[in-house]
Structure 1
Amino acid sequence: MSSKTLTAAIEKKIRSLCLTDFPCGNGPWRRTKNGPDEAETEPPDVLLDLLRYPSSPWMYNETWSPQASELRELAVKEPKRLSKNFILSYLKTIRITGKNVSCIDKGLLKFSKLEELVLSGNLISEIPAKHLPSTLKILELQANRLTSVSGLASSPPPQLKYLGLGSNSLGSHQDICDLTGRHWPHLACLDLSNCNFQEQQFLIAALETLPCLKTLSLKGNPFTMAPSYPGFTVDSLPELACLDASWLTTEDRYNFFGLARMNELVVDVASVTLSLTRLRGIPDPLMHVDKKVVEFPIVTYKYFISYQFFSHPAADYQGEDGEFKLDTSSHVTEDNSVCPDPGSDRNSGKNDADPDAAVPDAAVPDAADPAVTADVTEQLLLYTTPKLSCIECVDLNYTLTYSISCLGALKKFFIQGLRLDLMEEKTLSWLPPSEEPQQVRASPGKGKKGKNEKNEKKVKTPPKPMNKRRRGPPELIHDPPIRKLLNSVHIPLQSLVHGGQRVKTVCNFGPLHVEPPPKQEEETEKKTKGDKKKDKEAKQKQSKDATPQKSPKGKKKDAKKRDMDEHTILSVPVPPVPVTVELSVELEKWKSAPDAFRVVTDAENS
């Protein structure tokens, strides 16, 4: 694939101005001062109206350069001035966005008065500083394919005041070294949002050397999820006026004063608290079963929620059994095959035999890279909430706090989103097998055959010894639990990457349809003829006893109307109640310097 140069894209925009076509240019449609007053010619004022009138077909609406409309008007007023060099030197602002430009060629130097160059959304991977005009003051390179700033920092435009490098693959140590005041003495606004910078102290130390920096954008970088951001940045850059599109106030300065000197507290480790509360809407699958009749096997159902998240050294939550609820046990699926938990390897693709893995995954953003997803999944573990029976509403009180040092992987996980799985665990319980009585046979004697047969008939099994103590209920034998994925919910967490501190939502798993057990048709078929005859006689007797008494016609109508109303009321279907759970994912942020000191001290003491 051949590279598309920037100069070729700009020349295409200039040709679209049609500076030599009607109503521009010096064509036969133009009426001169000393020329004849012909019907097919127009004066310059009328031609200018055709360019300016909003409903005119010659109105130019593209905004790639503010000087584009000015050049078209000059082509009407003074067409002889519009030479190629004049056009190139006249343009001061050029915006070429989303045009697949991959190369900044030296032809850009012909634009000798260029001050603003916007190249967002292209395919540029390298910025040769020698191809940039020295008059450039604004350079926007957002959402390109930059992996290094070294080419631009070698000899940047001396008057550059704004540099936009957001949404690029930047974040190495060399990139930080290239963002110092030695390279950018007049830089006042810097955009590094949505990059991959992970070391906050190292980056802020480099930005402190920029003498004119007033506006800074850092949101979307991994280190911004640490508790020390933005307090450490605000206190370290006292001349900064705007951070992440928010103006800094005197109160902000006062709250974070002194945090820049607490270098030992500033650690690039994110603290994420995940909470699940108020689970409701799980129906009883045994509601149609007669619980008075004890039949085996006894079926018990348990429900819980599972999800994947990062491992952490210590858990704040302990389950009912006093152990951390990390589920790594095996289970039996509905086809009676033993395999690991469905949530443990579903995303990583290691469990090919799991039938639950055939369930389609929850919606994930289309921009998610499969390689990135696999890289994040390798660092995740499976967690489960306590197992509960059928409930209408219960407070789970499930809270875990995670300490995550790999901030780059945490950013990718938040962009991918969190998946909650509603699981059902069914267990079958049986009676233990009864011991068969052993028959004692008589030893064969020397007598006659008939006599031996009589002796064998007289031998009886010895009576069972009577237990002195009364036996309790027998201990049941439990089959391995059968787990089933009922439904999944995907929760987007991108806001935590872009400056948000908390995501709180109600996850809706939808209603669970419980099918009633089939009617026992076999029992009705087994009825004897005598039972059927008795039922028939009982019905006849009831019909004789319930002879209707005469009543006025009005009462009959009222009774019929009442019966119809009751029938209509009972026939209205009740909508199923969805299964919901309240979820909260929160990033810890220090609100002040004393708050940071207190939080760190409490963590050390605990």
Structure 2
Amino acid sequence: MASKTLSAVLEKKIRRLDLNSFPCGNGPWRKTKDSDGPEKESVDDLLRLLNCPPRPDSESWSRQASALRELAVRTPQRLNQRFIYTYFTTLHIVDEDVSVIDDGLLKFSKLEELVLSANYILEIPWNNLPRTLKILELRANRLSSLDSLSNGSPPQLQYLSLASNSLGSNRDAFHLTGIHWPLLVCLDISDCEFQDLQALLEALSTLSRLKTVVLEGNPFTLSPAYPGLTVDSLPQLDYLDCSWISRDERHRFRGLADMRDLIVDTASVTVTVGKVRGIPDPLMSVNEKATVVSYSITYDFLTHDSKVDTASMAHGTEPSPLSSDLLPNENFSQYTTSKRNWSDIMDFCYTQTFVLNSLSNLKKFFNWGLYVRLEEEKVLVPASSEVTKSKKKKDGTGKKSQVKPDEPKDKHKKKEPVPEAVEEVSIRRVLGSARVPLQSLIKGGQKVQVLCNLDLLHTNPEVDTTQTLQKAGRFSSL
């Protein structure tokens, strides 16, 4: 994709204001002292015609756009190029495919608010930003580093949003200090990839005027120590993740910042499977073989860096083939509940706890969600063991042949039947599956409780197809 500069987008929007076209500008349609007539319009008439029909885009990118068009009617002689650039104090260029912040932005020398969300910006050339900026929003771009900050930053900036970017190194944290942002009051770096909470808090503690910080969605927020350690390390804060910090909270978390052995890089996750209902009653075979049917719930969970609670009821296997198709390229394993025989309502009473020390991978897993499957296992067993009958000679009438008198008596002793080997056949199949969304756990949620419809494949074609499987499950982060 070809690069698109910010100044090119702004120039196009200014041209679309039509500041020299009817009813704006000094055109022949204006009524003046020297010219009058029925074809001439007064200023009041021109103002009434200004937004007829209204322009839906006239104010979406700047609060000054409509006011500037009014000035082009009232006093068009003032609207030279320099006046137009200096008139703008707010610019909102959202989802316009901007990839480069070029030095053309410096023409807007009185700019105070710049919003560039949902674009393709790779870096921030701070020397191309007006020094008058107080609000800067770069949410959902393609920033991967703040190294360009070494060139300087707008000294009057009070609000900075870098949310939903690929930022997260300790070097990036170093750039978020009072040296660069002496007047910063609000900082939003949510949904980034910061993992070292203590390094980030050390940097943010130098922002003496910081009152609001939004950190949710970073991997370290999955740690139970996150909120308390943050509140105690930043006593100047009033709001954390859009929630007011009460006096009781400060008292409850007091002293956490001084605990050197505090664990901040692990998280505990518990998976619970409850009741399942809606499975059609499997028909037992009445032929020569009997069928034993059992059911279980399986799911995939990342385990390459996790410690599994040995007291749990689950058992792990090799990485599931399904994981490679549905989940990121991490090492996932499959876990299975205990088996249950069929009943109208089957309670699995299953709980599994994981302790993980890669919060970044845990965040990725929560974004993908938990995939659960209902599995059926049929064991086919012969109804009775077949025995091999002794070979006997029969005459034409079906009677047994007589033993000759001169033959040894024990030669024709009746042989014991030899049982044939009985082979059990196990057939497994997935009856239904579902994905449990877990994004709310990244945003600070502590529990996800979901009733799943697994789109059941029926075990018997005669069963009413309106029946479905429902599983009551819970996935919670402790």
Q: TM-score, normalised by structure 2?
A: 0.90
User: Which residue of structure 2 lines up, in the alignment, with residue 427 of structure 1?
Assistant: 379
Say if 1:110 and 1:162 are closer, same or farther in 2 by CA, change over 3 A: same
Deviations 1:140-174 (A, max 9, x none): 11111000011034300111111110000000121
Q: Which amino acid aligns with 1:81?
A: R
User: Which residue of structure 2 lines up, in the alignment, with residue 559 of structure 1?
Assistant: none
Q: Percent identity?
A: 48
The one of 306, 309, 318 aligned to 1:315:
309
User: Which residue of structure 1 lines up, in the alignment, with residue 412 of structure 2?
Assistant: 461
Say if 1:500 and 1:476 are closer, same or farther in 2 by CA, change over 3 A: farther
Secondary structure in 1 matching 2:191: coil
User: Which residue of structure 2 lines up, in the alignment, with residue 204 of structure 1?
Assistant: 201
User: Which residue of structure 2 lines up, in the alignment, with residue 507 of structure 1?
Assistant: 452
Say if 1:161 and 1:465 are closer, same or farther in 2 by CA, change over 3 A: closer
Instruction: Give, in whole Å, the separation in 2 of the partners of 1:227 and 1:47.
Output: 63
Shift of 1:246: 1.4
The one of 305, 309, 326 aligned to 2:316:
326
Q: Which amino acid aligns with 1:306?
A: T
Q: After the TM superposition, which residues 218-237 of structure 1 pair with which residues of structure 2 at under 5 Å, given as runs?
A: 218-237=215-234
Instruction: Give, in whole Å, the separation in 2 of the partners of 1:148 and 1:99.
Output: 22
Secondary structure in 1 matching 2:470: strand
**Unpaired segments ≥5 residues, structure 2:** 394-403
Q: Which amino acid aligns with 1:313?
A: K
Corresponding position: 1:302 with 2:294: yes
Deviations 1:236-270 (A, max 9, x none): 11110111111222222222222222231232111
Say if 1:260 and 1:56 are closer, same or farther in 2 by CA, change over 3 A: same
Which shifted more, 416-425 or 501-510?
A: 501-510
Q: After the TM superposition, which residues 558-597 of structure 1 pair with which residues of structure 2 at under 5 Å, given as runs?
A: 577-588=467-478
Instruction: Give, in whole Å, the separation in 2 of the partners of 1:106 and 1:258.
Output: 48
Instruction: Give, in whole Å, the separation in 2 of the partners of 1:70 and 1:31.
Output: 21
Shift of 1:62: 3.2
Q: Which amino acid aligns with 1:45?
A: D
2:222–2:442 CA contact under 8 A, matched in 1: yes
Say if 1:574 and 1:171 are closer, same or farther in 2 by CA, change over 3 A: closer
The one of 241, 248, 252 aligned to 2:249:
252
Secondary structure in 2 matching 1:578: coil
Deviations 1:222-243 (A, max 9, x none): 1111111211111111110111
Corresponding position: 1:399 with 2:351: yes
User: Which residue of structure 2 lines up, in the alignment, with residue 73 of structure 1?
Assistant: 70
Q: After the TM superposition, which residues 126-525 of structure 1 pair with which residues of structure 2 at under 5 Å, given as runs?
A: 126-286=123-283, 289=285, 295-311=287-303, 312-315=306-309, 317-319=311-313, 324-328=314-318, 344-348=320-324, 373-375=327-329, 378-430=330-382, 434-435=387-388, 437=390, 461-464=412-415, 477-510=422-455, 513-515=458-460
Q: Which amino acid aligns with 1:177?
A: F
Shift of 1:401: 0.9
1:96–1:118 CA contact under 8 A, matched in 2: yes
2:340–2:346 CA contact under 8 A, matched in 1: no
Instruction: Give, in whole Å, the separation in 1 of the partners of 2:421 and 2:445.
Output: 52
Instruction: Give, in whole Å, the separation in 1 of the partners of 2:181 and 2:61.
Output: 27
Secondary structure in 2 matching 1:230: helix
Q: After the TM superposition, which residues 95-134 of structure 1 pair with which residues of structure 2 at under 5 Å, given as runs?
A: 95-134=92-131
Instruction: Give, in whole Å, the separation in 1 of the partners of 2:255 and 2:425.
Output: 59
Q: After the TM superposition, which residues 548-559 of structure 1 pair with which residues of structure 2 at under 5 Å, given as runs?
A: none
Instruction: Give, in whole Å, the separation in 2 of the partners of 1:188 and 1:318.
Output: 47
Instruction: Give, in whole Å, the separation in 1 of the partners of 2:54 and 2:24.
Output: 13
Q: Which amino acid aligns with 1:158?
A: P
User: Which residue of structure 1 lines up, in the alignment, with residue 20 of structure 2?
Assistant: 20
Shift of 1:3: 1.2
Shift of 1:50: 2.2
Shift of 1:297: 2.3
Shift of 1:436: 5.5
1:163–1:190 CA contact under 8 A, matched in 2: yes
Shift of 1:507: 1.2
Alignment: residue pair count: 465
Instruction: Give, in whole Å, the separation in 2 of the partners of 1:169 and 1:207.
Output: 19
Say if 1:153 and 1:496 are closer, same or farther in 2 by CA, change over 3 A: farther
1:215–1:242 CA contact under 8 A, matched in 2: yes
Instruction: Give, in whole Å, the separation in 2 of the partners of 1:347 and 1:575.
Output: 29
Secondary structure in 1 matching 2:372: strand
Q: Which amino acid aligns with 2:324?
A: S
Instruction: Give, in whole Å, the separation in 2 of the partners of 1:79 and 1:44.
Output: 11
Instruction: Give, in whole Å, the separation in 1 of the partners of 2:461 and 2:370.
Output: 34
Q: TM-score, normalised by structure 1?
A: 0.72
Shift of 1:51: 2.6
User: Which residue of structure 2 lines up, in the alignment, with residue 565 of structure 1?
Assistant: none
Say if 1:476 and 1:45 are closer, same or farther in 2 by CA, change over 3 A: farther
**Could you say what the CA RMSD is over the residues aligned between the two structures, in angstroms?**
2.8
User: Which residue of structure 2 lines up, in the alignment, with residue 562 of structure 1?
Assistant: none
1:60–1:69 CA contact under 8 A, matched in 2: no
Shift of 1:206: 1.0
Deviations 1:330-352 (A, max 9, x none): xxxxxxxxxxxxx8112325xxx
Deviations 1:373-403 (A, max 9, x none): 432xx32110001111111113211001111
Shift of 1:303: 0.7
Instruction: Give, in whole Å, the separation in 1 of the partners of 2:452 and 2:274.
Output: 11
Say if 1:58 and 1:257 are closer, same or farther in 2 by CA, change over 3 A: closer
Say if 1:254 and 1:271 are closer, same or farther in 2 by CA, change over 3 A: same
Shift of 1:513: 3.2
2:432–2:456 CA contact under 8 A, matched in 1: no
1:170–1:196 CA contact under 8 A, matched in 2: yes
Q: Which amino acid aligns with 2:470?
A: T
Say if 1:127 and 1:512 are closer, same or farther in 2 by CA, change over 3 A: closer
User: Which residue of structure 2 lines up, in the alignment, with residue 10 of structure 1?
Assistant: 10
Instruction: Give, in whole Å, the separation in 2 of the partners of 1:475 and 1:155.
Output: 87
Q: Which amino acid aligns with 2:316?
A: L
Deviations 1:95-127 (A, max 9, x none): 111111111111111111111111111111011
Instruction: Give, in whole Å, the separation in 2 of the partners of 1:174 and 1:202.
Output: 10
Instruction: Give, in whole Å, the separation in 2 of the partners of 1:66 and 1:41.
Output: 30
Q: Which amino acid aligns with 1:100?
A: D
Say if 1:232 and 1:496 are closer, same or farther in 2 by CA, change over 3 A: same
